[in-house]
Chains A and B, each alone.
Chain A
Amino acid sequence: MAEKRFDVTHVPGAALIAGVTFLALYVPVLILVVNAFNGGDMAGQWEGASLRWFAAALDNTAFRNAALNSLIVAVSAATVATGLATMAALAVSRGRPVKGQGGIFIILNQPLLVPEIVFAIALMIVLARLKQVTGYQGLGYVIAAHTTFCIPFAFLPIRARLAGMDLTLETASMDLYASRFYTFRRVTLPLLLPGILAGFMLAFVISLDNVVVSSFVKSPGQETLPTYLMSELRRNLTSEIYAISALLLFASISIVAASWVVTRTKE
């Protein structure tokens, strides 16, 4: 007879804890989504279902600008971060071990080690000076800052995918007259693609909802979606904020779901 493993679901109260946790996580989000469809003027007072606040949000130029900025930042930062993460993952898992490989891991994971607020303040001080010297005030700073903390998130799924890949496949390719580059293009890269896509989408979502670094690094007048929502909350609490939050939620869920589907079907 097989030995019985410890099963946490048999602990008294396990179901209750799980239930409460689930409610605590999802009920507030659900309330937010419901409120986004509230037709009334005052947030929190239900006056019938309506799409009016979604319409108002889409009509709001400040929101549209912030959304566009967020999209530009997220796409750019995720693209650069994924590119760098792919190269880093290949470097540490293919060929001879690089000298100081441990150091590379520390640098890569810096954003996971250093508290975000510390990093943000440090960046603010340096970038304020840089903005003064160069006169450039654009989104480039935010993109660069987001890239740094996107790298570890992009790196992890790519490295996991590489680690699970059979090295014999690359050997077989070389045996069949393929050069290193041809092997990379026709064997390694296609097999790595699901990992790269997963890394990109993770990085994209992480960048999309960042508040702390964005607030400290952005130039005056610049807003990303999260910083716009923060400032709006201080001024007027209409259901428009719920509508915008709901839109952000849908976008985020779609991206994560899409990445999940892509990685699943490729395997």
Chain B
Amino acid sequence: MLDIRSLSKKFGSGAGAFHALKSIDITIEEGEFFTLLGPSGCGKTTLLRMIAGFEQPSGGQLVLDGKDIATIPPNHRPVNTVFQSYALFPHMTVAQNVAFGLEARGTNPAEVAPRVDEILEIVQMAHLRDRKSSQMSGGQQQRVALARALAPRPRILLLDEPLSALDLKLRKQMQFELKRLQGELGLTFIFVTHDQDEALTMSDRIAVMEGGTLQQVASPRSLYDHPANRFVAEFIGEANFLPGTIVDGKLFLAGSPPVPLLREKKSRGAVAVMIRPEQVVVGATSEKAITLDGRVESLVFSGTDTHVSLRLQNGTTLSLRSPNTSHAGTALADGQALQVSLPIDALHVLPEETADAA
């Protein structure tokens, strides 16, 4: 178990100081696939480099198995990293690269070779053990980098955007393999990415970061269904925001009569109401819903469904999906008037943020 306590990082000092991390608290469980997700510059890589030992924290603790490792140099930490650029040693063969960590640690030489063979077998690279890294494809280098980091049996494996250099098809395949490998080894993975799809498909839990702070830590499902704020809602998937007001447990949206809220009864005053495009229903619904009228502004065909952009009467735009089932009698047309329903259950009331309160 890795306990990150009030960890902060400040570059520079005085007025020009840059706070890369502002007091981060996370507890990463044993055997968890944990992802740090956020746009570039959010501090996710700084946090990873601090866990690896490449950066010194300005404050806080990193407690691994009850011991604070924050000031221990990287070569004495039981964590290994898969680098974005792979960083394979170009003058060594695949086998020599994989053996490096074991040898540097002073492992009994008789145990090095069997471990190298075993781990190369796991990543399916045994047949290329005598190749130099410059003679391999990106995907192969990726596997060797993974094998090299796994060979010394780290307590935690750190992965710094390891799939970003691969093409889409290979990336999908490696996502699947990484997830499978993590499950088989039962090892804790801390994975850094800016790709929300990658994070959603692979992770047990995701920490969404922005501007050096944690926005939300949750499972992919609950991040998507219950985003804590507007940033998370927008970063994970697509979202519509409608301005509204809550008075006495009733939601007032422009262009519709007030409706009583089932959840989020605590909120009051000006709010942003979020709904995912796929939860907007075309026409009427039997559920409790808000109905709104609008005009179709654009239609983009995308295979299984059509992305519809609707201009509401109150001026805001609403995105929704219209499934392209063969028996769908209602083919939509540009400029067509359309009534949509927003099921009350699908609405998320988020605090209205005063125009970028940063």
Contacts and interface: CB of A to CB of B under 8 A. Distances in A.
Interface of A: 166, 168-169, 171-179, 182, 186-187, 190-191
A264 to B, nearest CB: 14
B9 interface: no
B105 A177 contact: yes
B135 to A, nearest CB: 14
Contacts of B73: 174
5 contacts: A168-B83, A174-B73, A175-B52, A176-B75, A186-B100
B87 A177 contact: no
Contacts of A172: 81, 83, 87, 89
Given A171-B54, A190-B91, A191-B90, A176 B101 contact: yes
Contact of A187 (B75, B89, B152): B89
B91 A175 contact: no
B105 to A, nearest CB: 4
A175 B75 contact: yes
Tell me the dominant secondary structure on chain A's binding face: helix
Nearest to A178: B104
B213 interface: no
A187 B90 CA distance: 9
Given A166-B87, A172-B89, A176-B100, 7 more contacts: A169-B87, A169-B89, A171-B74, A175-B54, A175-B74, A176-B80, A190-B91
A174 B87 contact: no
A249 B152 CA distance: 54
A172 B104 CA distance: 12
Contacts of B321: none
Interface string B100-121: 1100110000000000000000
B267 interface: no
A97 to B, nearest CB: 16
Interface of B: 52-54, 73-76, 79-81, 83, 85, 87, 89-91, 100-101, 104-105, 148-149, 152
A166 B85 contact: yes
A215 B197 CA distance: 74
B83 A182 contact: no
Given A172-B81, A172-B83, A177 B89 contact: no
Contacts of A173: 89, 100, 104
A174 B54 CA distance: 9
Contacts of A182: 104
Given A173-B100, A176-B104, A191 B91 contact: yes
A182 B103 CA distance: 10
A12 B186 CA distance: 73
Contacts of B148: 176
A176 B91 contact: no
Contacts of B100: 173, 176, 178, 186
Contacts of A171: 54, 74, 83, 87
A144 to B, nearest CB: 35
Of all A-B residue pairs in the complex, the 5 with the closest CB atoms, nearest first, are: A176-B101, A178-B104, A172-B87, A177-B105, A168-B87
A172 B148 CA distance: 10
Contacts of B85: 166, 168
Contact of A176 (B54, B90, B152): B152
Contacts of A190: 91
A190 B198 CA distance: 37
Interface centre among B76, B80, B89, B149 (most CB of A within 10 A): B89
A164 to B, nearest CB: 12
A235 B148 CA distance: 69
A178 B73 CA distance: 11
Nearest to A171: B54
Given A168-B85, A182-B104, A186-B100, A175 B80 contact: yes
A153 B234 CA distance: 57
A179 B54 CA distance: 14
Contacts of B79: 175
Contacts of B89: 169, 172-173, 187
Contacts of A191: 90-91
Contacts of B152: 176-177
Given A182-B104, A186-B100, A175 B90 contact: no
A177 B90 contact: no
Contacts of A186: 100, 104
Contacts of B104: 173, 176-179, 182, 186
A114 B254 CA distance: 82
